[in-house]
Amino acid sequence: MIRITLAFFGLIPMPLLGCSSPSGIVYGDQVLAGIDMHLHTGEWDKIPPSTQNYLAERFPFPLNLNPEPLAEDTLSAQGVVDQLDNAGLEKGVVFAVYAPHSVGIATNAEVMELLDAKPDRLWGLASLRVDQWNTEAENQLNNLREALNHPRMIGIKLAHAHMHIRFDDPQYDSIYALAGELEKPVYLHTGPSPFNGTLADPPYTNPIYLEESIKRFPQTTFILGHMGFDFLNKAEGNLEECLALGKRYPNVFFEPSALGSGASDPDGTLYTKVLRRTKEEGLIDRMIYGSDGPQFPGFLADYATRTRDAMKAAEYTADEAQAVFKTNFERVFGLNP
Amino acid sequence: MITCALLAATLSAPQAISPAPVSVHVAAGFPWTGIAVEKSFASNFSATLEAETALGRRWESRLQLNKDWPIRTSWRLRSGLGTGWVYQSPSVPRQGVQVVARVEASYQSTYSPFVTLDYRYLIGLRELAIQSATGDRTEWVTNPYVSILGQVGVRRAISSSLELDLRMIFGEIDEVFAIPGALLGLRWSQR
């Protein structure tokens, strides 16, 4: 029954919104290929209750009364691929997460299970624990290095606000150094998060505090997730700081996930502004598409549609849209076919 | 189904409206299951005590006062206003007082089609635990949630005191889209 329900809700946006097809994203008279670089997996039981509640509230009634089966199904390898298909996206990148204070834990091993189950469709970003860094740093870095040996683990995921570490704390430089050594880009959550248990003060959310590390590690690629969006106040947050860092450093990239969702930006105004400012600054070649899904069935398709619409409103050409949806990702992660 | 019922209704002789002194209605389906006891009074007034649950995880109970408005021989309009308690757990916790306004239109015949519209306003109560420098305390906060539900269905008497009904339910619960539901019901009326 869950499968039927997923298909039912997942397919709704396609004919209604006319954005995605099984083979791509319709943009004017062209069909674009797309890759979603921000997807999640995990086990319901490992998510803290407040976050379970936050997620369950997004499910339709009465699935929100018993969200675990639907969530587990949506977060499985097949569930993620079903959502990619529904959105007309070719491939996706699944994140490992170590955020016991907020959204919970999705281990590197769990992500690798997904990658092995769908090796033609999924890549992964590995992560590490930092909550006992004084004594565990070496072990954690070794574990991270080992996870990155997996052929489809292509980068590192960090979320300073969730992990309670400052952007300007040099004791975590060893992570950036490892990323540079292995040529694996680092994705970092930026901007205040809506989840309980996260820290919203600027040193944890404003990427300008990361500038010294960006300077110290020019060989490391930094991807600023959510482009500094303020999810607490549903405002652009640190967008200008992100763009300024992009202008100053060639190893800085952006990812605009979640900020353009129906919950964060109902009429698309903020998303359009983010995309327009990126274009005005000549930084489209630094932007990589991601959604922050699957969240709930149909979210990936909805976000791709919203992105397409915001790109049109920001007057992106088809080539520019294609760069954001796919080719920038392939270039940054060294996955050119 | 509704079209068939309407067609059957036009071919059937109209029946006079004769509310029973007491009736009991039980219904089961997806996702709702419920029971309602109704007591009629003079001047087309009645009171209904209802209890229903969605999958055993959301519980609603209410006491409702109804007024019937006969329109010609076969048509009936019913309006109702009620209040009750909602409890929902565990994944999306809710509890609080709910106010319900209901309007129902029905055609009395062998197959009686009906349409019902519910507006439910829940004053959700939530207990907050606050840790501060001056000590820990708890506070109750309220959050409003609106549910709008439409029902379409058909009733069919199977004896002088029993009636079957089949209905579909559409709408939103607590401002969240609700997957359409279906219910099969049985009403016993005192004669």
The ipTM of this complex is 0.83
Contacts with B55 from chain A: Cβ below 8 Å: 62, 65-66
CB B179 to CB A66 under 8 A? no
- Kindly state the DSSP code that residue A335 receives in the 8-state scheme: -
pLDDT in tens, B151-166: 999 999 999 999 999 9
* Per-domain boundaries in chain B: 2-7+22-189
Q: Domain containing A210: what range?
A: 2-332
**pLDDT score at B72:** 81
Look at residue A113 and tell me if it is in a domain: yes
Look at residue A337 and tell me if it is in a domain: no
Taking the CA of residue B103 and the nearest CA in chain A, the distance in Å comes to: 23
pLDDT at A111 over 60: yes
The span from the CA of B190 to the CA of B46, in Å, is 14
pLDDT in tens, A201-235: 999 999 999 999 999 999 999 999 999 999 999 99
Look at residue A63 and tell me if it is in a domain: yes
Interface residue A51 vs chain B (CB under 8 A): no
CATH number of B2-7+22-189: 2.40.160
Test mutation, B58, B86, B92, chain A, max A CBs within 10 A: B92
Q: Which residue in A5, A60, A68 is closest to B177 by CB distance? A: A60
Q: Which residue in A52, A60, A66 is closest to B178 by CB distance? A: A60
Q: Among candidates A150, A155, A104, which has minimal Cα distance to A129?
A: A104
Q: How many domains does chain A have?
A: 1
What is the pLDDT averaged over residues A304-328? 98
Look at residue A60 and tell me if it is in a domain: yes
Taking the CA of residue A164 and the nearest CA in chain B, the distance in Å comes to: 20
pLDDT at A3 over 60: no
CB A53 to CB B54 under 8 A? no
pLDDT in tens, B36-50: 999 999 889 999 999
| CATH number, domain containing residue A94 | 3.20.20.140
**pLDDT score at A12:** 39
Interface residue A52 vs chain B (CB under 8 A): yes
Q: Among candidates A234, A157, A230, which has minimal Cα distance to A198?
A: A230
Taking the CA of residue B11 and the nearest CA in chain A, the distance in Å comes to: 38
- Kindly state the DSSP code that residue B43 receives in the 8-state scheme: T
pLDDT in tens, A240-254: 999 999 999 999 999
pLDDT at A4 over 60: no
Strands (E), A44-152: 91-95, 97-99, 104-106, 122-126
CB B92 to CB A68 under 8 A? no
Torsion over CA: A320, A184, A87, A48 (sign):
negative
Residue type, A222: F
Taking the CA of residue B95 and the nearest CA in chain A, the distance in Å comes to: 14
Strands (E), chain A: 20-21, 24-27, 30-32, 35-40, 91-95, 97-99, 104-106, 122-126, 153-158, 186-189, 222-225, 252-255
